[in-house]
Structures are given as structure tokens and as C-alpha cells.
Structure 1
Amino acid sequence: MPKKKPSTSASISKRTSTSGQNHREKSSKVAKAPSKTLGIFEAAGFQHIKSDNIHFLVSQQMGEIDYVFVWENVILLVEETTGEDLSKHPPKKIHFHKLIDQNKNDFFRSFSAACPEFGTYMSGDYQANEMEIRHVYYSECQLVPSGISFNPQPFKIMQPSDGAYFEKLTKDIQKSSKYELLKYLNVKLCDVGQSRISGSGVTSKSFAGFALPSKHTNYPDDFVVVTFYADPASLILRAYVLRRNGWEQPTLSYQRFVQSEKLTSMREYLSKNGKVFINNLIVTLPSNSIMQDADGQIISPSELTQKTSVKLILQDELASIGIVDGQHRILSYFEGVDAIDKEIKNIRQRQNLLVTGIIFPKDYDDERKMKFEAELFLSINNTQTSVNPELRQDLEAIINPSSPLGMGRTIIHKLAETGALSGLLHVNQSDSSNLISTGSLGPHVLQQLVRSTSPLYKEWAKSKSVDLSLEKDRDSFVDYCANELRSMLGAAAGIMEPKWKPVDIGGILSTAVVGGFMLLLNRLCKVHSYPRDYKKLLSPIKNFDFSKYTSSNWARMAREIMQKISPNEGS
């Protein structure tokens, strides 16, 4: 629960150190729930400096910090709450952390005096002006309200889904997860460690390889395909994977999460056998990648006419190499704390993996890059193993967002975020298996709602000129569909309380029932004009028997509910 803060009156500044110590001793007796952030950042290799119940002054304001983590010259000041009422706790924390952000030297001096362990850290290798401070607010149980999360400075708001993502990531790849956490917190490698001390800025590393021009690869003009060898440590440092339901670009993420069992077996192979994986990895490379010839002259992609021996120069920047195929082969070399990491450490920088990289043209923005990667990922995986239906639909939403299947999947994600189905739909790989499966709703239900022949589409479009290939029109239509579904489902949830929960836990909701309600909307649009009083229209469902609708009986359910609502229109 959010903790009660000490008074902010002027008398606080006059408290003696003895009274502060007594207060800390009294507070420390209060039992606390296990901290998720403590587990995440410690597993990623950050040092935890105990700070809870240590009170200190910043700009005459007394306060405390739940958790402090350090790594090199990076300092993380973390607040965590498991409370459900977020109306008061975040604003108080935001105010105190703004004072810290605006008075860093005051914070360093005051907290170092109150916390000897932090004082020891501050007397180490880095000067105060070389410290990179990041503020994190994590709410484990509830989404931080948009009114706060829209302008939370200096906090980075870690929502529950972000916490769940990093909890799994740190368990899977342990200390190597720190690089994705640094990216999440907008820490650049040029501001970390010796790069910050020396002021050298962005460093780079070179790799010997061969480059092919676009005419030899059938890729568009200005694309370059380069093959080279790279050590796993260099790849892990720079790599990113657009994992489905990760923290970044959720609408453009497509890859499966890493499988811990697969990583374990591959690490055992590496530790016992020691032989490098010889099949090539497929990655994308940033447009600022530099190719040099034998004389050190820079080669422009337009100058390539044949296979050319090159020195490929890649900057030491986080998330600059996109892994399209082979994330397990790279991440099996992660920096861990398991028993076999001693053997893995010996080969993390010595072995070399064969990499085929595609260098993007300079005019490709992030969205075009991610769509390209998604198409490449799908083409590779279609030739190997079948793609999960939910993943295929997520890919469709990226590659062809104006298709009925793509729009339907986007609507599913919107319904999973807010409204009567929030927290009830299975859309994330880390979601509980007890949640309602959504793989069949897109192709068999929502496609019917979003087609240009549907009553819902005609209601939205009316006589206006629209083109769903245009992003603004498509977004408008998708939002309209999601909002109408939320309104209808919200009314149904109110009528059916307390049975509005999945069948597995004693409720009425299943894939068939959710699909039935969705198809019911099309029928309602056809008969009842907008705006509709859903609470009144759906009142006949109070004693409706939903248990008989299983499998793909959504169409029958929609028809039979409509017969109760409008007997003459329910056929």
C-alpha cells in the first residue's frame, strides 16, 4: 500500500538524528510484501542500496525513497506501490522527486549523510556531475491513471505489464537484461562508465565481412546485405527483439518471447560441447552502419556493384541491431549467475557467430523498419514451423493494418486494455491460461464487423468519403468499433454482475460468449439507430442461459439474444 509520508512542516528540519533513527526503527518493523522491482533490478545486475525508511532532506522537504539501485554511474531511484488507490500516492512522490531532480547536489550530500552505503558509492570512481539518475514509479496492481502518466516527470512510469515483462526477461537472461532496461530508461551507452568519464562519446567496433548490392539480392534499391562474424557479447550489447506484448511499440511487436527451457538446453550444450552454432543469424542493421574498403575509404551503398570485402563498423549503441531470426542462439550466451556461466563466460567474447545483416536505407523511419522486419520474420518462419494464430494476426496488423483481420486484431488489443473485458482476454504470451482465448475472434467474428458491407461500417461511414488505407480514417473507424463494443459490453457486464467473469472461475464468459456479443452489435446496428441505449436493449439477457454456447456458437448466441430483444428482427 502507498506509505504515509512524514509531515512537511518546518519543524521536520529540526528533528534530531536520534529521533530520525527511532522513527526508522519503528517503521522497519512493519512487514512489507516482496518487491517485484527489487527482484528485477538485482537480477539484471544492479546493486541494491537499502534506502527504505531512511529519511533525508532535499530543499527543506523531508522524504524517503523505496529503492535505490546503482550500476557503474547509473543511479535508479525507484518508488513502488501495491496499493489500488493511486489518486494521492503518485503526486506526492512526483513532487519529492522533482525536488531531487532540481537539486541533485543537495540530494547527493543529504542522502550520503543519511545512508553510509550510498556515501561509499558516491566516493568511488565517478564524480557527481558524471552520474546518470533515473526515477522510476512502479504500480504492481493498477494502471497509473492517464492524468498522471501523461506528465509524470521526472518519473518513468513502469505499468504492471512492463513489470511483468521485465520480471520474465530478467529470469530468462539474467544480467544481460540490463541492456534492455537501460534502453527502457533512456540511458545511452555513451553516458555510461569509461565513455562518460573520458567524454569520448559513442564508440564503435569493426567486423570483417562481405557486402552484396541490392541487385544481387532482389532487395529494394539502397539496401545492402552484409555477412560477417561477430562475438555474442557484442551482439547482446547492441541487440533488440520486438517481442510481442513487450514494453516498446506494442502495435509493431511480433516475435515470440524467449523460451527459458530452450536457453537452458543450449547453454548446457555450449558448456559441455563448446562448439559454436554454425547456422547464420538474420538481423537488421542501422542506416548509420559504415562500410570501409581495404584502404579505409567509406563505401556508399550506391557504389556497390558486386560482392565486396568490407570492414563493417557498428556503433556501441543499445538496440541498434534487430534480431529477426536467431534470438535464442545469441541470448544463450547471456551473462548469468547459474552454475555453468563460468564456461559460458570463457566463450562469450571468443566465439564468433555467422551473421547476415540487412542495412536499412537512410530514409527508413522506425515504422517502416519494423514492418520490414515483421514481413521478413513471417517469411522465414512460414518455411520452418507454423505460426501461432494470435501471432499471425499481430503480424497482419503490422504488415497490412487496413485489412479486416488486421483491424480486428487491433480492436482486440484495445478491448483488452480498457472496458468490460480489460484483464479478461488472453493477448499476451505471459497471460494466464485461464483468460479468454482470442485467436479465433479475429478471423471468425471481428472480420464480419469491420468489412465495408457490415452494418457497423455503414453506420460509421454514412455519406462521408473515407478510405481505410489512410491511417487517420482507419484509426477513426477502429476507435469507433472499439468504443461501441465497450459501451455494449459495459452495459452487459452491469446487467450480468457478478457473473461477468471467465467460465473457469464461475462466470459466463468464454470465447463463444464474447464472440456472440460482438456479432450481436452488428445486428443491433442494423435495427436500432445510433446512439443506442444498450442498458435498456440488453435488459432481457439478465436470465439468459449462456452455458449452452460453446465452441464456435457465437452466431447462434447473437441470433437468439436478438430474438429476445427484437422478436421480429432476430432471424
Structure 2
Amino acid sequence: MANPKPKPKAKAKGKKRAKKYSPEELAVRKEQSNQKKEIRDIMKNIGFSRLPYIDGKEFQYNMRTSEMDDIFINENIILITEYTIGSPGTHLLKKKVFYDKINEDKKNFIDFLLTEEKLKSFKEYYENNIKSKYSKNELRVKILYCSKKTISNEHKNLVDDVKFFDYHIVQYFKSLTKTIKKSSKYEFMDFLDIPFEEFGSNIKNSSSKTTHTFKGNILPEEKSKFDEGYKIVSFYIDAASLLRRSYVLRQNGWKDVENVGHYQRMLESSKINAMRKYLSDRNRVFINNIIATISTDKIKLLDKDDKNLVIKDDGEIGNDMFDVTPTKIEIEDSCNIIGLIDGQHRTYAYHEGDDQYEKKISELRKVQNLLVTGILFPKKESPKKRLDFEANLFLEINSNQKNVPSQIQQEIELLINPFSSIAVGKKMLLGLNQSGPLSNFIEQYWYEKGKLKTASIVSYGLRPLVKIEDIKAKDSLFHLWTNPDKNKLKAKNSNDFDLLKEYTEFGVEKIRDLLIAFKANLNAKKWETYSASTPEGLISVSFINGILNVLRMLIENGKVSNIEDYKAKLKGIDSFNFKQFKSSQYRKLGEEIYKKYFK
């Protein structure tokens, strides 16, 4: 008798097959994972601890079902964190009610976190790290909303007391925290709108503002040869105190979209690491002085008898000071008040790190004194003139050094000359990227891939279109603009930023009108950036510069019109052979389109 066939094994009960994801779903999951890792690495570098078992735990708070992606804690700061890679507007509206309930009574929300069983890791952390150090009134709760996509101001304004960790700001702090680790906490607290005197043990000080006093000398302009009212103070300050108060050239940092790249480009990790090794091995201070600017409203100068030396609006100090004078300088313990122009690497070599040198440097940070030469601006000096002075001084000091990239020097030149055609062109391109047919097509930040580079569009497309300085030119937006005060923009040292804004908005509108008409007459597949996956895409530097040249000819020939008229004239443009023109044939492309559809 043949052996019976073995019965197939019964499937184990309760086991679920792993879900199979499509390539698209896998790509989304990977993007979500990368976003979380990026934020978590930043928080770790700043000094925040991440609580486990928070992500995906659904709970009810104040009759509202919700969940949180992460909770980060650093001393008395608690960050309720949300990640999204999808449509931020819709997602944000869903979270609004929950966020409003948190912000209504933050102490009550902390009590909830301590009693909610699903979030018990908070209670464990609280019992071990917070309870003995801070009262609940000393805790600061902030909501951190992290979106990969741009969130409009319209949607941001729908929620109160939420910090938006926009992607360009994430990249800024990613670079910063990689370089100077925990010393970036001063700037991060500024981003969170948490005064540094409320962070950590500082919150226990009785006074709202603290100052520290350092010994130094005042150098009048007769001895420095700077302009009248500019005074020089030299003083010694310990590295820890300097780190808390410093910023590198651009005080705005993450706040300023156009200059968000300056900070990390001006701090080189390799150079700082080499200096940390030197400090650790040699155990001695750097002998070069550090050159900086100091906010006069954040300091007090005292004479040898500890009497206040009044800094007048015109920059004069005390009465008839013509010689080097010993002084004590009282400096407020605040962030972003000392602008480092030269010596940023020597300063940030003392940062709070996590490398093999930190143990030794943590000792040196408090005891080693650095010599600072500080420039005091007259109080009446405008922010624009202060920025010009800082940027020019930086260029004077660094222009001959090989380690300063030319791109930084060019960007600083743009800051110095905001009324130049290049600067105006950049502003208009930024406006075109914010809304309309070119929305989100332009590379705005250094980390963006697959977008249009700005340099060639500004230099070869916009610069000749926006030119202010060429009086005879009749093919520019400036010639077309009918504002009666427009010639004020030509004046040397013009500071009429309201007028400049009007011109920028006018230019953006006229360019956008023509772009809208082109897009309306082209197949949707063609209004994409050209790539291997979108071979029909026309959006390129050559294409945009060609359209800008069409507008120049329309202006020159008095044929500037409205969107509907442009649409009518561009009927049939979909069959035009754009790709017959080489990448540098902007003018020729514009001429051919103008002849065929407008002449």
C-alpha cells in the first residue's frame, strides 16, 4: 500500500501577510522616513531628547481624537512635533482644533501627558529629568510643524502659536547643527521665540535680563580712521559668553529667505575640526583678535569709577574723548547681538560638540579669553548702512583669502547694492516663483534638485529687461513703468525701498501676464521642467529667457498688452519648434516668437 500523501501544513493562525507596497507607496514611505530622520538628527545635535513610543499613538484630549509624531525635550522646552510631506494646507486644518486646545492651557496639556497611559514615556522622562529641576510653570511647550512643501501665509495664519519648521529652515539648521552641534541652541531658541533667559536654568534668575562685565578700552575715530561716530572697543571675553551672543555677518540667518545660505557657507566643518584639535592638543588660546560689530542698545560702557559713559545718538561717548580710554563693557546676555566679521572659525572652534575633543574644550570654553575688537555704530545709523558697513568690512578683510568662495562675495555685493539690476532681477524672479505659472519652478535654495538655476535667468534674461541705469534703453520694464518718482531709483545711495518694491511688483505682474498666456496655449505636458521622465517638458533657462526677450521686444515696439490679448495672439504656439534653438540662443528664440505671433 502506497504511503499516503502528507497533509499540507495548516497556516498558523493570527499571522498576517506583510503588505506589499507599490513603487509609488515605497517612494512615499522613504520620503517620510527621510524627513523624520532629518528632523531627529537636528534635534539630537541641538541637545534635545526624543521620547520613544509616541508616533502613531491615538488618544483623546479634551474630547478631540488626535495623535503626535514626536515629542522632543531639552531642559524645560517641550516640542510637540508633526511631520507631513503631503498637502500642508489640508493637513494643517485637520490639526488646528487639537493645536488650539493645547495652546488654550499648556499646563493642563502637560497634566494630560502625565496621566495618559498611551504616552507613558513622557511621565517616565518627566519623573527622571524634569520634576526635580523645573516646576510646571517653568516648562515651555511649543508646537513644531514640519512640512516638506511650502505652506502659504494664508494657511499659516489660520493657526496660532505654531512654529513652522519650513523646509529651507530645516536645511539651514541641518547644516548649522552639523557644524557647531549644541551651540546652535542659542539660535534655535530664537527661532522658537523663546527668550534665552527662559531656557533651562536661566528661567530661575530673578531678573528678566542679565548682563556680564568685561574689561577693555575705547578707541575714538581719530585713532581708528573710521567715519565720525564709529567707535572701537577692544575687550577680552570668555569663549562661552561670546558663543551665546554671536552671529555670523547675517543677523537674520534663517529668517531671511534670500540669504539663508550665508551662515553654513561661512562656517567650514573641516576648519573648525582642525582648530578644535589644536585647542585640545596645545591647550592654549588663539592669539589673533576677533573683529565684530556690537548692538549699542545691548551694552553699557563704564569709566574707571564705574560711572555710565553715555553713548549719544551720533556715536559720541562721554565728553570730548580723544584718546584711548580704559572702560568696562557691560553686555546683555542675549543671542544675536555680536556680529562676527572676522574670526568666526576661531570662535566656533569652542562650540559644544560631541567629538573626542569636547571634554577638554568644555573646560577651555569657560576660562580662555578671546580678544574682540568691536565696532559700535552710531544709534542714528540706518539698518541698511549698518549692513553695508559689515559687508564691506568683511570683503576688505577676506577678499584676498582663497578660502572665501566667490559666490559669497557676489551675494554680499548684492546685499550692498539692492538697487542694482542684478539685485532687482533676483527679487522679481523670487516673486515669479511664489505664484503664477512659474510657481515652485525656480531653484530658491541650494538643496533643491531638478529646478531652474537662477544665475543665467537673472544675468541674461532679467538683467537687460529690468535695467534701471540705462537712460536711453526703450526695451526695459523701467522704461514701461509710468511711476512719476521712478528716477529716484537711479539716484546714488538711494534708499527708497518702498519705491523699489513697487517697481519689483510691477515687473512681476507684466512678466506673469505673458507667462500665463504661453501656458494657456501649450499642452499641459509641455509646461514641465525638461527631464528624462518628462521629455516633452519645455521649462528650461533657455525657454524662460526666450519669453523674457519677447517681452523686451513688446516693450520696445509699444505692444505690451493684457493676458487675453496675448492668449489670442499666441494661438498655435503649441506647434512652435522651441527645441530647434540651442541653450544660449535666448535672443534668437525671442525674436522668432515675436515675428511669428506679435509682428
Q: TM-score, normalised by structure 2?
A: 0.80
Q: Which residue of 1 aligns with 2:464?
A: 448
Out of 239, 245, 270, the position equivalent to 1:238 is 245
Decide whether the 8 Å contact of 1:284 with 1:373 is kept in 2: yes
The structural deviation recorded for 1:372 is 3.2
Aligned to 1:125: 133
User: What's the Cα RMSD here?
Assistant: 3.0
Counterparts of residues 71-86 of structure 1 (less than 5 Å):
71-83=74-86, 85-86=87-88
Q: Does structure 2 conserve the Cα–Cα contact (< 8 Å) formed by 1:242 and 1:252?
A: no
- In 1, the alpha carbon distance for the partners of 2:348 and 2:155 equals 36
Distance 1:413 1:458, change over 3 A: closer
Alpha-carbon distance in structure 2 between the residues aligned to 1:246 and 1:541: 43
CA deviations over 1:215-269 (Å, ceiling 9, x no partner) = 3323344322112222322222111235599421335665534233333333333
**How far apart are the structure 2 equivalents of 1:230 and 1:335?**
17
2:573 pairs with one of 534, 540, 544: 540
Distance in structure 2 (CA, Å) of the matches to 1:64 and 1:361: 52
Cα-to-partner distance string for 1:313-371 (whole Å, 9 max, x where unaligned): 21110111112223222222221222332333232233333322112333346555334
Displacement of 1:107 in angstroms is 0.8
State how far apart, in whole Å, the 2-side matches of 1:313 and 1:463 are.
49
Whether the 8 Å CA contact 1:226–1:358 is kept in 2: the answer is yes
Which of 316, 319, 332 is the aligned partner of 2:349? 332
Instruction: Pick closer, same or farther for the CA change 1:525–1:398 going to 2, 3 Å.
Output: same
Give yes or no for the alignment of 1:299 onto 2:317: no
Amino acid across the alignment from 1:472: D
1:60 aligns with 2:76: no
Mapped partners of 1:561, 1:328: distance in 2? 53
Structure 2 counterparts to residues 169-248 of structure 1, below 5 A: 169-242=176-249, 246-248=253-255
Q: Percent identity?
A: 29
- Taking a change above 3 Å as real, the CA distance of residues 280 and 439 of structure 1, as seen in their structure-2 partners, is farther
CA distance 1:451–1:366, shift in 2 (3 Å): closer
Counterpart CA distance in 1 for 2:266 and 2:524 is 35
Question: Max radius of gyration: which structure?
Answer: 2
Q: Distance in 1 between matches of 2:91 and 2:483?
A: 49
Q: Which residue of 2 aligns with 1:403?
A: 420
2:206 maps to a residue whose letter is G
Cα separation, 2, equivalents of 1:103 and 1:463: 51
Taking a change above 3 Å as real, the CA distance of residues 152 and 487 of structure 1, as seen in their structure-2 partners, is farther
1:156, CA displacement in angstroms? 1.4
- Which sections of structure 2, spanning at least 5 residues, go unmatched? 1-27
Q: Give the letter for the 1:176 counterpart.
A: S
Kept after mapping to 2: 8 A contact 1:390/1:438: no
TM-score (norm 1): 0.84
Q: 1:376 aligns with which of 386, 389, 393?
A: 393
CA distance in 1, matches of 2:448, 2:423: 21
* Contact preservation (8 Å) 2:251, 2:339: no
Contact conserved, 1:204 with 1:313, CA < 8 A, in 2?
yes
In the alignment, the residues of structure 2 paired with residue 192 and residue 463 of structure 1 have an alpha-carbon distance, to the nearest angstrom, of 50
Deviation of residue 153 (structure 1)? 0.8
- Cα contact 1:75–1:134 (8 A) shared by 2: yes
Q: Who is 1:116 aligned against?
A: 120
Instruction: Render the CA deviation track for 1:157-205: whole Å, top value 9, x for unaligned.
Output: 2212112222222222222221111111111122123332232322222
Deviation sequence 1:12-66 (CA, Å, 0-9, x none): xxxxxxxxxxxxxxxxxx9862403222212210111233334454433333322
Decide which of 566, 579, 590 is 1:558's aligned counterpart. Answer: 590
What is the Cα deviation at residue 385 of structure 1?
4.8
Deviation of the 1:387 alpha carbon: 6.8
1:35-114 map, 5 Å: 35=36, 36-50=38-52, 51-83=54-86, 85-114=87-116
Equivalent pairs counted in the alignment come to 534
SS at match of 1:247: helix
Question: Structure 1 residues 458, 167: CA separation in 2 closer, same or farther (over 3 Å shift)?
Answer: closer
User: Partner of 1:263 in structure 2?
Assistant: 272
Equivalent in 310, 314, 317 of residue 327 of structure 2: 310
Distance in 2, Cα, partners of 1:273 & 1:210:
29
> How far apart in 1 are the matches of 2:427 and 2:409?
13
Deviates most, 30-39 or 60-69: 30-39
What CA deviation, in whole Å up to 9, does each residue of 1:117-144 have, x standing for no partner?
323425231111111222221112x111
Cα distance per residue 1:517-563 (max 9 Å; x no partner): 3222211233423214444444436442436423x432233223323
Change (3 A) 1:389 1:448: farther
Is 1:488 equivalent to 2:514 in the alignment?
Answer: yes
Contact 1:72–1:192 (CA under 8 A) maintained in structure 2: yes
Q: Is the 8 A contact 2:272 2:345 kept in 1?
A: yes
Q: Aligned-pair distance for 1:458?
A: 5.1
Whether 1:290 aligns to 2:290 is no
2-structure distance, mates of 1:244, 1:429:
19
Question: Offset of 1:473 from its aligned partner?
Answer: 2.0
From the superposition, tell whether residues 363 and 194 of structure 1 become closer, same or farther in structure 2 (CA, over 3 Å). Answer: farther
**Distance in 2 of aligned mates of 1:381 and 1:509:** 38
d(CA) in 1 for partners of 2:222 and 2:403?
A: 31
Partner of 2:33: 33
